[in-house]
Chain A
Amino acid sequence: MTALLTRETAQSIPADGPILSARAVVKRFGQTEALRGVDLDIEPGEVLAVMGPSGSGKSTLLHCLAGVLAPDDGSVVFDGIEISRLNERQRSLLRLNRLGFVFQFGQLLPDLTAVDNISVPLLLSGVRRNEALKRADDWLERLGLGDAGQKLPAELSGGQAQRVAVARALVTNPTVLFADEPTGSLDSLAAEQVMNALLDQVKAAGTTVVIITHDPRTAAYADREVIVRDGRIPAGNGVRSA
């Protein structure tokens, strides 16, 4: 199992079948039922937009899919692994090596330069510092941030900081990238730059992307959209019929 948790590239994904699959997932917070039996399949290399109004449960769904929260009922299977059966350490290992994350704002370490921020996941994976910095520099170039390597987050614009976050999420070649409102704090021009940069890279690498958004313009970049309402995904929307 450890080998599956630490596999570094997306190339080993099975050609057929979903890479991530949720079945009858229920999640409760006290008396509130945030997810009420969600079924969802996500195919390898697919870009999926999860939409829905505030409080609909889309963020909770993302937490369950990423192994952040354990469902109360149902199962989440990633690349053949039942995530809810993993312990905390194994889930950390999974998130570090197989999943990537981009958030809305404030996710960069303020004291680290852009290049150091990008290198952190590699260092955590045991890559040597020089190699990590080299690969981080490479990602900065790919995302058009070649001059920004030695800048601190406070010295970057919102769009630049978000592209650094994208580079940090992709530097470990994750199998699935989760992006939670990745353009929520940006103006439309910066948002477009970030989405284009992100999609250029994931398409080239065949990375699966799950984007949480309530912005139709962001959702338009996706291959498929699912709507979450009152903790449910309408029948036939989340799971493709055979």
Chain B
Amino acid sequence: MIRTILQLTTFGNEQSRWRLAGIVLGIAVGVGLLLTLLGAAQGLTDRDQRRSWLNVNFEYRLDEDGEAYTLTDDTVMVGRFTDYVAGDAIERIDVAATQTTNERTPWGDPLPAPGTYFASPALIELIESLPGEQLGDRFGTLIGPIPDSALGSPDSLYVLAGVDEATLGQFQSWWIQPALAGDASGSNVVYRIVMVIGGIAMFLPVLLLISTTTQLGGAQRAERLSTLRLIGATPESVTRVAAIEMALLALTGALLGTVGWWLLRPVGARFVVDEGRFFPYDLDVSIATIVAIAIGAMLTTGIAAGVRIARMGIGPLGVTRERSEHAPSPLSLLPLLAGLALFGGVTWAFKTSNVDVMLLSLAIIGGFGLTSLGIIWAGPWLTNCASRLAARFAGSAAGVVAASRIRRHPEATFRSVSGLVLAVFTVTVFAASASSVLEADDPRDGAQVFPLSTVYAYIHEGATEADLAGVEREIEAVPGVLGAVIAMEDRNDPGSWLVHRDDAPLLNVRIEDDRAWVRFDAYNYIWGEPDAERPGQPGAATLAGDLPFVLMVATDGSDGVIDTVRTRLEASNQMASLARTRADDIDVTTRKFVNSLANLAYIGIAITILIAGISLTVATAASMLERKRIFGLLRLMGMPNGVISRIVAFEAVAPLVAVLAITIGLGFLISWMMVEGLSYSRTLHAPDIRYYLAILGSLGLAVLSVLAVTGLVHRNTGVNQTRFE
């Protein structure tokens, strides 16, 4: 009997087949997405593990007895640095060992001798593409590539350079440890959290898509099931049919999704996360996980479908009269208000007292979740209010019909656009928050600000005046270099930079009075007031007791010149640090991280918007097809095709208009509370172009959905097809 019922109800007509295709596609997308996210999460863990050797650990400085290690055949001396070329960061490990060392590289090769180096394939490619004086000469002679097993990504720029103990000893930071190894840092934790939140945000539209396609042709299907009940099918067998049907569809969808995921894995691996793309095998998921997901999809969707049919209570006489939904209550605004109150409370608490960081993070995530849920919850009420207003003022047949429809079915109407609404909310919060970093930290030159084109490096304590003069001469000979300046360390304030007024113009500093020295605020990269404590001594190079501290090289700002200066400074053996620019430091801190995160987030948001757009199309089409008979009769009575198209358009656009503006406003409000309330100096800026593209994309998809469905209107409501009943 079940087989007969399945044949009759599942493959009945064209709409049934569309419904099947929609469900299978929705589940396939969901499963594919889940596998991709699980693969990416696993891939990030593997990446952390592979590059753990870079994480030289401070604790290794001391042995079990608390004594500092010394360099022996069983220890290595290590310095970890971030080097730069053309704005790209290079993870650099300098290693010194005894000549008879027992230590090896993490991949088993002997350690590089002084003047030789291993480099990642991407870095080797970069070195080969540039003149040696810009990059290659910094490291010495290449002896081989670093294998994939020691790389985070195929794009990783790593170098393991051999140096001698004395040279490394000149640097500010180095230590001796028992092996060239480290712990997996878990530095990808932020990415993981973002992926989990993003995954949830992406799954909602997928679930909505499945839910919407399930209801496609629902009225006709209910009629058929009701007829079967009339001829003797029990409620249990009808429920079982629905569950089996959905489980089989879920299995098909899961298989398709798995195949799609497998085929698209190389594409997924191309997305840049953190330091670069994934290796294709990074995204692998175990067979056991795939089977578990398929079984999970079958069980959850099957049970849900069975429960839904059981709750519909399809009797032998069917459901002949359409039931309106209960009018949503203003109480549905409570979760939204609670979410906003939570954000407000967190901001207030942060401003007035010390709040535990973990508690703060949980409160922010909770507030975001509650607000998102609140928007979904409040959406039908807002839609209902808008439809009441529209119904009161509507003057056209399309307006009256559509507003009345929305008023009777606010939940169903809002559900069709809720995916888009949520996507827009998420992208607004993200884009507005990211603007505070991307815009604020965009490095720019300005008055009294350390020039972006100036390269600097700390001077080794043992460097003599003659050594430094030699370095200055060599650097100043590089075409494009405007001059070299030595900043002194204040004898009364160690770590403080002082620059003489004669050198000031080269560094974009203006000294109004006659004082000889100006102090540099190294934290904010700005020149402070002329040093009042020091007497004016124009012409004096140094004061007694001051030591040369930093060598600054003004350049024309081109990448080639800056990188050549870096190479010369690093090869001079007179520096205590690698050479840097102000832009390097900004990149290292937050800008690059946020930009990379933004790229990832916008990809996720684009997928979410696409799925939500498909969902809206299906929902709009389903809503029209459900009423094609009544629309057909109206057309027969003389209602023009365009009026029906306008009804369909109004029903799709009205809830978007009603909620979207509020949603965008809420997104900015929450970003403002997070950024201005929970940071000391950041402020909101206009989001970048990607945000506007995302919003335009959402609206464009909504328009396309409506246009696609209005195309269906003519075909499905033709008087020839409907005819008299």
Using a CB–CB cutoff of 8 Å, the interface residues on chain A facing chain B are 59, 62-63, 66, 68-69, 89, 92-97, 99-101, 103-107, 109-113, 116, 119-121, 123-124, 128-129, 152, 154, 169, 180, 212
| Inter-subunit contact B638/A95 (CB<8 Å) | yes
B404→A109 contact, CB < 8 A: yes
Quick check: A95 and B637 within 8 Å, CB to CB? yes
Verify A124–B397 contact, CB threshold 8 A: yes
Q: Which residues of B contact A63 (CB under 8 A)?
A: 723-724
Please provide the chain B residues from 704 to 721 with a CB less than 8 Å away from any CB of chain A in the complex.
Answer: 719-720
Q: Is the CB of A129 within 8 A of B409?
A: no
Q: Chain B contacts of A94 at CB under 8 A?
A: 638
* B401 pairs with A120, CB closer than 8 A: yes
Nearest CB on A from B208, distance (A): 22
Q: Do A116 and B400 touch (CB < 8 A)? A: yes
Residues of chain A within 8 A (CB-CB) of B395 are 123, 128-129
With A92-B640, A95-B636, A129-B400 known, 9 other A-B pairs at CB within 8 A are: A92-B638, A96-B638, A101-B633, A106-B725, A109-B634, A110-B408, A123-B400, A154-B323, A169-B637
Q: Please provide the 10 A-B residue pairs with the shortest distance between their CB atoms, ordered closest to farther.
A: A96-B638, A95-B638, A123-B397, A154-B321, A180-B724, A111-B408, A110-B322, A111-B405, A111-B404, A124-B397
A116 adjacent to B404 (CB under 8 Å): yes
* Chain B residues positioned under 8 Å from A104 (CB to CB): 724-725
Q: Is B167 an interface residue (CB 8 A)?
A: no
Does chain A have a CB within 8 A of B47? no
Q: Is B172 an interface residue (CB 8 A)?
A: no
Q: Is A107 in contact with B324, judged by CB distance below 8 angstroms?
A: no
Contact B637 A121 (CB under 8 A): yes
Determine if A111 and B629 form an interchain contact, defined as CB atoms under 8 angstroms apart: no
Tell yes or no: B179 within 8 A of A by CB.
no
Q: Does B678 contact A (CB under 8 A)?
A: no
Question: Is B102 interfacial (CB 8 A cutoff)?
Answer: no
Cα distance A55–B408 in the bound complex, in angstroms: 39
| B window 607-639: CB within 8 A of A | 629-630, 633-639
Which one of B324, B394, B640, B720 lies within 8 Å of A89 (CB-CB)? B640
Contact B405 A92 (CB under 8 A): no
Bound complex: CA A99 to CA B492 (Å) = 102
Measured CB to CB, the closest approach of chain B to A108, in angstroms, equals 8
Closest to B724 in A: A180
Query: Which B residues are in CB contact (< 8 Å) with A95?
Result: 636-638
From 48 to 97 in chain B, residues with beta carbon under 8 angstroms from any chain A beta carbon are: none
- Within B313-364, the residues touching A (CB, 8 Å) are 321-324
Contact in complex: B400, A112 (CB < 8 Å): yes
Q: From known contacts A63-B723, A120-B397, A154-B321, infer whether A106 and B630 are also in contact, taking CB-CB under 8 Å.
A: yes
- A99 vs B719: C-alpha distance in the bound complex, in angstroms? 15
Contacts of B638 in A (CB 8 A): 92-97, 99, 121, 124
Residues in B with CB closer than 8 Å to A101 are 633, 636-637
- Would you give the shortest CB distance from B319 to chain A, in whole angstroms? 11
What are the residues of chain B within 8 A of A105 when measuring CB–CB?
725
Q: Please, which residues of chain A bring their CB within 8 A of the CB of B636? A: 66, 68, 95, 101
By beta carbon, the residue of chain A nearest B638 is A96
6 A-B residue pairs with Cβ-Cβ distance under 8 Å, sorted by A, are A92-B640, A106-B633, A111-B407, A123-B400, A129-B395, A152-B324
Bound form: Cα–Cα A97–B407 in Å = 29
Q: Which of A94, A104, A109 has the most CB of B within 10 A?
A: A109
List chain A residues, Cβ under 8 A from B404: 109, 111-113, 116
CB distance from B389 to the nearest CB of A (A): 14
Contact between A62 and B724, CB atoms less than 8 A apart: yes
Provide the residues of chain A in CB contact with B641, threshold 8 Å.
Answer: 92
Separation of A100 and B637 alpha carbons in the complex (Å): 7
Residues of A close to B321: CB separation below 8 A: 154
Bound Cα distance from A129 to B27, whole angstroms: 46
Query: Is the CB–CB distance between B725 and A109 below 8 Å?
Result: no
- Residues of B with C-beta under 8 A to A112: 400-401, 404
Contact among B639, B720, B723, B724 with A92 in the assembled complex (CB-CB below 8 Å): B639
User: Which residue of chain A lies nearest to B408 when distances are taken between CB atoms in the complex?
Assistant: A111
Chain B residues, CB < 8 A from A109:
401, 404, 630, 634
Q: Does B396 contact A (CB under 8 A)?
A: yes
Check if A68 sits within 8 Å of B720, measured CB to CB. Answer: yes
A97, A111, A123 — most chain B CB neighbours (10 Å):
A111
- For A154, give the chain B residue with the smallest CB separation: B321
Instruction: Give the distance to chain B from A67, nearest Cβ to Cβ, in Å.
Output: 9
- Is residue B547 contacting chain A, with contact meaning CB distance below 8 A? no
CB distance from B219 to the nearest CB of A (A): 11
Partner of A119, one of B400, B408, B720: B400
**CB-defined contacts of A128 to chain B, threshold 8 Å:** 395
Contact residue among A107, A110, A113, A124 (Cβ-Cβ distance under 8 Å from B643) = A124
List the B side residues contacting A89 at CB < 8 Å.
Answer: 640
Q: Which residue of A lies closest to B394 (CB)?
A: A129
Q: Are A123 and B629 in contact (CB under 8 A)?
A: no
Inter-chain CA distance A68–B397, complex, in Å, is 22
Q: How far is the CA of A196 from the CA of B719 in the complex (A)?
A: 29
Q: Which of B394, B395, B637, B643 has the most A CB atoms < 10 Å from its CB? A: B637
Q: How distant is B393 from chain A, measured CB to nearest CB, in Å?
A: 9
Across the interface, B633 reaches (CB within 8 A) one of A93, A99, A107, A110, namely A107
Could you say which of B397, B638, B640, B724 has the most chain A C-beta atoms within 10 Å of its C-beta? B638
Q: Once the chains are docked, how many angstroms separate the CA of A69 from the CA of B718?
A: 11
Give the complex CA separation of A69 and B323 in angstroms: 34
Q: Are B639 and A124 in contact (CB under 8 A)?
A: yes
| A103 to B401 alpha-carbon distance, docked (Å) | 20
- CB-CB under 8 A from A96, the residues of chain B are 637-639
Task: Please indicate the chain B residues that have their CB under 8 angstroms from the CB of A111 in the complex.
Answer: 322, 324, 401, 404-405, 407-409
Cα-based distance from A235 to B404 in the complex (angstroms): 50
Interface centre among A93, A121, A212 (most CB of B within 10 A): A121
**Which chain B residue shows the least CB distance to A110?**
B322
User: Would A120 and B720 count as touching, CB distance under 8 A?
Assistant: no
The residue on A at minimum CB distance from B396 is A123
Residue of A nearest to B630 (CB): A109
A116: chain B residues at CB < 8 Å are 400, 404
Q: Which of A99, A106, A119, A123 has the most CB of B within 10 A?
A: A123
Q: A110–B320 Cα gap in the complex (Å)?
A: 11
In the complex, what residues of B have CB within 8 A of residue A121's CB?
637-638
- Using Cβ atoms and an 8 Å threshold, which residues of chain B touch A124? 397, 638-640, 643
Q: In the complex the two chains form, is A68's CB within 8 Å of B723's CB?
A: yes
Chain B residue, CB-CB nearest to A104: B725
Q: Are A59 and B724 in contact (CB under 8 A)?
A: yes
